[in-house]
Structure 1
Amino acid sequence: MTISSALANPLNTALVIPILYLLYRVLFPSFPEKTKPATSYEEGLYNWAPPAHPKTRVYKKYTVHELEPFHGRTEGSTILLAIARIGGDGNIEERTVFDVTNGRNFYGPEGMYGNFAGRDASRGMAKQSFDEEMLTALDQPLDTLKDLTKAEIENMHGWHQHFSAKYPIVGGLVE
């Protein structure tokens, strides 16, 4: 088959121009300034990296006095709160401390759950109450939660699962 016989078909003639154009673009690529590929770090070769890495927290055991300063009342400060995890036997396995800083709208000073920031929120979450009396005073031992109903324990368990899926675990709350 010769070139003249191949071009005799109108479809072949129509396809020659796009094929030649694509061949030209492959052989002689031109990059506009904005889409030019980076060749070094300064030019943005690592443009997938975040502008700053998040602060790393090491898992730590907190007392109520060590947890309290993480109340979030200072602009840009870290907000932590604790929720108890109840085992299958109905006893408290641990009180997990979550970093809820990303939920500042909820757990910051103006948030609906703001009174739980820097505190053990177990009783309040279990009872769905934001009242101050749901919080154990800082000079008192940790709440045993023994008087919670089965439904309240299940509710607190649901909150613990929700927080575990949404916020980083940064420690545990101890006496």
Structure 2
Amino acid sequence: MRMIFRHFIFILLLAALSAGEKYKLKELDFDFVKNEKPVRIFTDSQLKEYDGSDASKPLYMAIKGVVFDVSSGEDFYGKGSPYNALIGIDSTRAVAKMSLDEPDLNNDLTGLTDDELKALDEVFEQTYKAKYPIAGYMDYVLEKYPEKLKQREDL
């Protein structure tokens, strides 16, 4: 009986310790070089060119610094459609919060809850990465991964 009680206390301690842990956003798994060519790097103003205002250009949106071509989802993302506010920008915060409010249309993760960060990772992996081709990366990602930048410069 004493052994069972110790085991029960140990499980309670583990649960209490893990409950206090903060969710850590998953790191990006990528390469700035694809088929021996550097992938495209976007600035905010360059990404804005793909917001749907020019019908001859694809629809791009960024999440976690990854730029996706969401043109195949034009019914959702094209001009006048429900999620057009997410196009032509890095909309990481909006995706995490499931929000289309103007203050959330950016890539700032400050103050997001563990549940919002988990949701961001899930939507990023299961929707965007699984469904849409990657068109490139945002320039701020280069600063986070200097070793990847070196690979790019060596070409």
TM range (shorter): 0.5 to 0.7
Q: Distance in 1 between matches of 2:69 and 2:88?
A: 10
Structure 2, unmatched stretches of 5+, are 1-37, 141-155
When normalised by structure 1's length, the TM-score is 0.55
Residue of structure 1 aligned with 2:54, choices 50, 74, 83: 74
Which position in structure 1 is the counterpart of 2:9? none
Provide the secondary structure at the position in 2 that maps to 1:124: helix
Superposition CA RMSD, Å: 1.5
- The letter of the residue matching 1:110 is G
Aligned length in residues: 102
- The letter of the residue matching 2:121 is H
TM-superposition CA deviations, 1:106-128 (whole Å, max 9, x none): 11111111011100111111001
Which position in structure 2 is the counterpart of 1:63? 43
Q: Is the helix fraction higher in 1 or 2?
A: 2
Structure 1, unmatched stretches of 5+, are 1-57, 85-94, 137-142
- The letter of the residue matching 2:82 is M
Provide the secondary structure at the position in 1 that maps to 2:137: strand
- The letter of the residue matching 2:111 is D
Residue of structure 2 aligned with 1:110, choices 77, 80, 90: 80
- Aligned residues of 1:71 and 1:118 also touching (Cα < 8 A): yes
Q: Distance in 1 between matches of 2:77 and 2:90?
A: 13
- The letter of the residue matching 1:63 is T
Which position in structure 2 is the counterpart of 1:135? 105
- Aligned residues of 1:59 and 1:169 also touching (Cα < 8 A): no
- The letter of the residue matching 2:123 is W
When normalised by structure 2's length, the TM-score is 0.61
TM-superposition CA deviations, 1:24-48 (whole Å, max 9, x none): xxxxxxxxxxxxxxxxxxxxxxxxx
1:158 matched to 2:122? The reply is yes
- Aligned residues of 2:50 and 2:57 also touching (Cα < 8 A): yes
Q: Distance in 1 between matches of 2:51 and 2:75?
A: 13
Q: Distance in 1 between matches of 2:73 and 2:39?
A: 20
